[in-house]
């Protein structure tokens, strides 16, 4: 197996450039097949989730050409299959965006239940409720979700019961070619929802209101190919901001949209971190001790749940007692036990984790429990005395492009090694 080995105690200093947003990319790539034409997608992150979702398109009959590391061309003119293979679907959550994309183009789709990080039950009832409102028949057999419509999809008013990024995206995909007007109420407002809407509109769709909680989609008969560049990754940027602050470093993070970073910047400033905003960059530096703070994760524009494990690390070395209340997922604290192996003092009760700041952390063997939990292990290892090994790094590589390269360039000491499976 492959592991990361981190020699802690190095201060990060320099410049890091952020890649394209993972959660936008994994929605925009499926969306391209709605065009039935050729789309060029730029600023893609070089991560395994992008390869897997591209593989799914290829399996369905699309031609996907890698133009460069961050650019692909998707020719979906010959897509002829509407059933995603079990093998590919189970590797990632976003495979379920093929439901909306295939339904929207072909009026039918069969997609196995998706994989992805485990945070307790991850229901898809809101997706199915929305597809049914658009006129689809839904079914679930042997773990495969099926959607069909004989009469074609019809626009509808859909009021989501919970704010769901995935359901909002899937219903946008399903509705762009439906007949008439679809209104999604209680829509998610994340930056990648806006990015998807912009991409759909660049293919000729009529999507308005993305970024607010009401999205209106007027169905169009036909879409066409487009060239589109994906927004920068808010969570990748936030992860490096916290790594810089935790190590008492001075790092400028390039290729970001500072507005997307506001909820994260605000908390870091509250903790005593200095943040300087530029047009498309942020400089993060810290020379003072960290102060404790409290965070509640919420859908955008609240503090992102995908940043809470990284935030936990910096809280664990702040003066005083900090807390995180998880407002999105029922169980997103599995990583805390791993942090405790490095000396973090934490308790978890239901959806609340409390961190009592300690002077220092000490290296040990830990594992990535999920993607962002894995990023937290890397940051914790950077500030631990001595060596830390991190296993199950495939979680991390699903969503962070060239993480080691980027951190090593600013002074971190990290190695990727292949070790025997029973390595201790
Ligand atoms: C997306 O997951 C992201 N994944 C997650 O990021 C992120 O944590 C999450 O949004 C919240 O921001 C991708 O974009 C691929 P939701 P998603 O539907 O869409 C409940 C990462 O680390 N819910 O917004 O699956 C659900 O249980 C990943 O990059 C229902 O009850 O999340 C949760 O409590 C991990 N019924 C809440 O809504 C439904 O039908 C929000 O889930 C759907 C969701």
pLDDT at 418: 95
Q: Is 165 in the pocket of ligand 1 (CB under 6 A)?
A: yes
Q: What is d(CA 400, CA 402) in angstroms, rounded to the nearest whole number?
A: 6
pLDDT at 424: 74
- Give the number of residues written for the chain: 424
pLDDT at 25: 98
Rounded distance from Cα 401 to ligand 1 centre (Å): 21
Name the residue with the closest Cα to ligand 1, atom 31. Answer: 123
Active site residue 117: yes
Name the residue with the closest Cα to ligand 1, atom 21. Answer: 306
Distance of CA 2 to the CA centre of its chain: 23
**Domain 2-19+232-418 class, CATH top level:** alpha beta
Side-chain-side CA neighbours of residue 307 (13 Å): 32
Residue whose C-alpha is closest to residue 184's, from 157, 163, 204: 157
Same fold for the domain at 2-19+232-418 and the one at 22-224?
Answer: yes
Q: Is 170 in the pocket of ligand 1 (CB under 6 A)?
A: no
Q: Which of 21, 22, 23 to mutate to test the pocket of ligand 1 (most atoms within 8 A of CB)?
A: 23
**Burial tier of 311 (Cβ tally within 10 Å: 0-12, 13-18, 19+):** buried
Which atom of ligand 1 lies at the shortest distance from residue 94's CA? 15
Q: What is d(CA 258, CA 277) in angstroms, rounded to the nearest whole number?
A: 7
Rounded distance from Cα 166 to ligand 1 centre (Å): 6
CB-based contact 155:179 (threshold 8 Å): yes
pLDDT at 120: 75
Rounded distance from Cα 119 to ligand 1 centre (Å): 10
Torsion of CA 216, 219, 222, 225, to 10 degrees: 10
Q: Is 145 in the pocket of ligand 1 (CB under 6 A)?
A: no
Q: Is 123 in the pocket of ligand 1 (CB under 6 A)?
A: yes
Tokens 């320099």 sit on residue: 14
pLDDT (tens place) for every residue of the chain, 424 residues total: 999 999 999 999 999 999 999 999 999 999 999 999 999 999 999 999 999 999 999 999 999 999 999 999 999 999 999 999 998 988 888 999 999 999 999 999 999 988 777 787 789 999 999 999 999 999 999 989 999 999 999 999 999 999 999 999 999 999 999 999 999 999 999 999 999 999 999 999 999 999 999 999 999 999 999 999 999 999 999 999 999 999 999 999 999 999 999 999 999 999 999 999 999 999 999 999 999 999 999 999 999 999 999 999 999 999 999 999 999 999 999 999 999 999 999 999 999 999 999 999 999 999 999 999 999 999 999 999 999 999 999 999 999 999 999 999 999 999 999 999 887 7
Q: What is d(CA 225, CA 202) in angstroms, rounded to the nearest whole number?
A: 8
Q: Is 26 in the pocket of ligand 1 (CB under 6 A)?
A: yes
- The domains of the chain are located at 2-19+232-418, 22-224
Architecture of the domain defined by 22-224: Alpha-beta prism (3.65)
């Amino acid at each position: 197996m492959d592991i990361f080995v981190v020699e802690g105690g190095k201060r990060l200093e320099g410049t890091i450039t952020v890649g394209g947003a993972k959660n936008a990319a994994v929605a925009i790539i499926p969306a391209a097949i709605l065009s039935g034409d050729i789309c060029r997608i730029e600023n893609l992150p070089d991560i395994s989730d992008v390869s897997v979702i591209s593989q799914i398109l290829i399996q369905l009959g699309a031609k996907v050409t890698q133009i460069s590391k961050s650019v692909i061309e998707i020719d979906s003119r010959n897509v002829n299959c509407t059933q995603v293979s079990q093998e590919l679907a189970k590797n990632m959550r976003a495979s379920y965006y093929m439901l909306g994309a295939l339904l929207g183009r072909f009026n039918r789709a069969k997609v196995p239940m998706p994989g992805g990080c485990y945070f307790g039950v991850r229901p898809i009832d809101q997706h199915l409720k929305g597809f049914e409102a658009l006129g689809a028949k839904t079914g679930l057999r042997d773990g495969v979700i099926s959607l069909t419509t004989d009469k074609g999809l019809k626009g509808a008013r859909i009021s989501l019961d919970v704010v769901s990024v995935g359901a909002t995206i899937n219903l946008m995909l399903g509705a762009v070619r439906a007949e008439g007007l679809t209104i999604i109420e209680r829509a998610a407002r994340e930056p990648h929802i806006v990015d998807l809407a912009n991409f759909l509109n660049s293919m000729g769709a009529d999507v308005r209101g993305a970024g607010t909680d009401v999205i209106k989609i007027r169905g169009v008969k036909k879409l066409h190919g487009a060239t589109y560049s994906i927004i920068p990754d808010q969570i990748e940027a936030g992860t490096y901001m916290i790594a810089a602050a935790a190590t008492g470093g001075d790092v400028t993070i390039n290729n970001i949209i500072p507005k997307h970073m506001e909820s994260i910047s605000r908390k870091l400033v509250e903790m005593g971190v200095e943040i300087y905003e530029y047009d498309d960059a942020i400089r993060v530096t810290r020379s003072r001790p960290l102060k404790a703070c409290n965070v509640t994760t919420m859908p955008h524009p609240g503090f992102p749940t995908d940043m809470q494990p990284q935030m936990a690390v910096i809280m664990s070395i702040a003066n005083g007692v900090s807390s995180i209340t998880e407002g999105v997922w029922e169980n997103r604290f599995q990583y805390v036990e791993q942090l405790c192996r490095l000396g973090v003092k934490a308790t978890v009760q239901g959806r609340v984790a409390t961190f009592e700041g300690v002077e220092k952390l000490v290296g040990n063997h830990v594992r990535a429990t999920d993607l962002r939990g894995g990023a937290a292990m890397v940051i914790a290892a950077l500030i631990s005395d001595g060596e830390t090994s991190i296993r199950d790094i495939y979680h991390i590589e699903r969503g962070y492009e060239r993480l080691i390269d980027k951190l090593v360039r600013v002074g971190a000491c990290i190695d990727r090694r292949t070790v025997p499976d029973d390595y201790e």
